C-alpha cells in the first residue's frame, strides 16, 4: 500500500518546531522582534532595502495595489492563468483587472498582449511568475517605462527564482511572496512584500496595521507617549511572531529546498523526454525557476480521465489554474466576453504532478510510471 502523494506539501523539521516553541515561551507572540528578523532575512536574500511581513499572499497583493495607488477607474493588466487573488487584489482597491493572454510556451503573461490591452486608464501590470518560472521582465519593464506604469510581481511561487542572475523580488516596484504550506517556504499562512521604494514601504507598514501610527513625524499632534493616530483606513494584516519564527527557520533551508526541487524536475524532464503525450514545462532562457509546480500538458488524452485515474492511484495531481475570468463571480460582473485563447487551450491540457522537497526518488518513480502508463494510449 502506497502513501498518498500530494502535489505539494510543507517540509517541517525538528529545528522548525523548536523555533516556534521558543516564541511560545517568550514575551511576544505578535508584534515582536521575530517579525523584523524575518523581514530582514527575506530582504537580504532577494537583495532589496525593505520587506514587510503580512498575513498571507493575498493580503500582500492587496497591500501592494494600495501602495501603488490603485483606485476607482484604474485598470491593472494581469494574467488569467493564476489563482484568483492576482486579480481580486485590484478589485479590493476599486480598480478593474484586465486580462492579457499568456505565452503558449512559458504559460506566463505575454508582453505583446499586455501592449495590446493598454488604455489611458491603465495604471499597473501584475506579472505572475507561474510555477516559479520568471516572466519576461525586460519586455514588461520596457512596456511599463513607455506607458509610465507600476510593475507589481506576484512571486507567490517564486521565492528563490532568478531572472538573468537577479533574484525575483529585486526587479520591480514591488514583489509579493506567499508562505502557504505548499510554497517554497512556509509560515503556515503568511506573506511578504519587498521593495526598494521607501514611500511604498511606509504605506505598506501602515496598511497592515489599521493605518495606525505612533510616529510623531506622521501624526498631526501628539498628546503623550500613549498617543497614536489612524491616518487612513488600513487592515489588520499583521503576521504573528509564531509564524515569523517558523519563517526564519525555513529561510535557512530555502536553498536546500530549491536544490531538491530542481533535482526532481531534472528527473521528470528526463523521464518524459520521449513521451509524445506529455509536454514538459519550458524554461525561459537566462532564468532559473524555483519550481514551485511541475506543470505538464497531457495531449491526445482525456485530461479528466488521466487526472481521475491518477487520483485513484493515490497520486494527488492538481490543475493550476482555471482562467480567472471563467469563475462565476467574474462572469456575472462584466467578463463574459473575455477570451484569452492560449490560456484556455493550455488549461484544457494542464496538470501539476507531485513536487516538493520531501518527495523521494522512489515516490517520484511511481508517479512517472503511472503517468506513462495512463497517457500511453
Residues 370, 121: Cα–Cα separation, whole Å:
49
Which residues of the chain register pLDDT less than 70? 1-2, 377
Q: What is the pLDDT of residue 3?
A: 73
Of 166, 162, 93, the closest CA to residue 126 belongs to: 93
**Beta-sheet strands, E only, within the chain:** 5-6, 50-54, 75-78, 96-99, 122-128, 150-154, 162-163, 166-167, 174-178, 191-195, 212-213, 229-230, 278-279, 287-288, 294-298, 315-316, 350-353
User: Grid coordinates standing for 197?
Assistant: 521604494
Spacing of C-alpha 245 from chain mean position = 21
Residues 316, 352: Cα–Cα separation, whole Å:
9
Domain ranges (residues) in the chain: 5-251, 254-375
Q: Residue 137, CB half-sphere, CA atoms under 13 Å: how many? A: 26
Using CA atoms, how far residue 284 sits from 129, 133, 169, in Å, is 11, 8, 18
Handedness of CA 360, 362, 363, 367 (dihedral sign): positive
Q: What are the residues whose beta carbons fall under 8 Å from the beta carbon of 334, sequence distance 6 or more?
A: none
Q: What is the pLDDT of residue 377?
A: 60
Of 155, 147, 163, the closest CA to residue 75 belongs to: 147
Alpha helices, DSSP H, located in 7-136:
14-24, 33-46, 57-67, 85-92, 111-117
Q: CATH top-level class for 5-251?
A: alpha beta
Q: What is the pLDDT of residue 354?
A: 98
What would be the CATH architecture of the domain defined by 254-375? Alpha-Beta Complex (3.90)
Q: What is the pLDDT of residue 2?
A: 62
pTM over 0.95: yes
Amino acid at each position: 500500500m502506497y502513501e498518498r502523494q500530494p502535489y505539494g506539501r510543507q517540509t517541517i523539521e525538528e529545528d522548525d518546531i523548536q523555533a516556534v516553541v521558543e516564541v511560545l515561551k517568550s514575551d511576544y507572540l505578535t508584534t515582536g522582534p521575530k517579525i523584523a528578523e524575518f523581514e530582514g532575512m527575506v530582504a537580504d536574500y532577494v537583495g532589496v532595502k525593505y520587506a514587510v511581513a503580512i498575513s498571507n499572499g493575498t493580503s500582500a497583493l492587496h497591500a501592494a495595489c494600495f501602495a501603488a495607488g490603485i483606485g476607482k477607474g484604474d485598470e491593472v493588466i494581469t494574467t488569467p492563468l493564476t489563482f484568483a487573488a492576482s486579480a481580486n487584489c485590484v478589485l479590493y482597491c476599486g480598480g478593474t483587472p484586465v486580462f492579457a493572454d499568456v505565452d503558449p510556451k512559458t504559460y506566463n503573461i505575454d508582453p505583446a498582449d499586455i501592449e495590446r490591452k493598454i488604455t489611458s486608464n491603465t495604471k499597473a501590470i501584475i506579472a505572475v511568475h507561474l510555477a516559479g518560472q520568471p516572466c519576461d521582465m525586460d519586455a514588461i519593464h520596457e512596456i511599463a517605462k513607455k506607458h509610465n506604469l507600476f510593475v507589481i510581481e506576484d512571486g507567490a511561487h517564486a521565492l528563490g527564482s532568478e531572472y538573468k542572475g537577479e533574484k525575483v523580488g529585486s526587479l520591480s516596484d514591488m514583489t509579493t511572496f506567499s508562505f502557504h504550506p505548499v510554497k517554497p517556504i512556509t509560515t503556515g499562512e503568511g506573506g511578504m512584500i519587498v521593495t526598494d521604494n521607501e514611500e511604498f514601504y511606509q504605506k505598506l507598514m501602515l496598511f497592515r496595521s489599521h493605518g495606525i501610527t505612533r510616529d510623531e513625524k506622521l501624526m498631526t499632534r501628539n498628546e503623550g507617549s500613549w498617543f497614536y493616530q489612524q491616518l487612513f483606513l488600513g487592515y489588520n494584516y499583521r503576521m504573528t511572531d509564531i509564524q515569523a519564527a517558523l519563517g526564519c527557520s525555513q529561510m535557512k533551508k530555502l536553498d536546500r529546498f530549491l536544490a531538491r526541487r530542481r533535482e526532481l524536475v531534472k528527473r521528470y524532464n528526463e523521464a518524459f523526454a520521449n513521451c509524445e503525450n506529455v509536454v514538459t514545462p519550458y524554461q525561459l532562457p537566462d532564468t532559473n525557476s524555483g519550481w514551485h509546480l511541475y506543470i505538464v500538458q497531457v495531449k491526445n488524452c482525456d485530461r479528466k480521465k488521466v487526472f481521475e485515474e491518477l487520483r485513484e492511484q493515490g497520486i494527488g495531481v492538481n490543475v493550476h489554474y482555471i482562467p480567472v475570468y471563467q469563475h462565476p463571480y467574474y462572469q456575472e460582473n462584466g467578463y463574459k466576453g473575455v477570451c484569452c485563447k492560449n490560456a484556455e487551450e493550455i488549461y484544457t491540457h494542464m496538470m501539476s504532478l507531485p513536487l516538493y522537497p520531501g518527495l523521494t526518488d522512489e515516490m517520484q518513480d511511481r508517479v512517472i510510471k503511472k503517468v506513462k502508463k495512463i497517457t500511453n494510449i
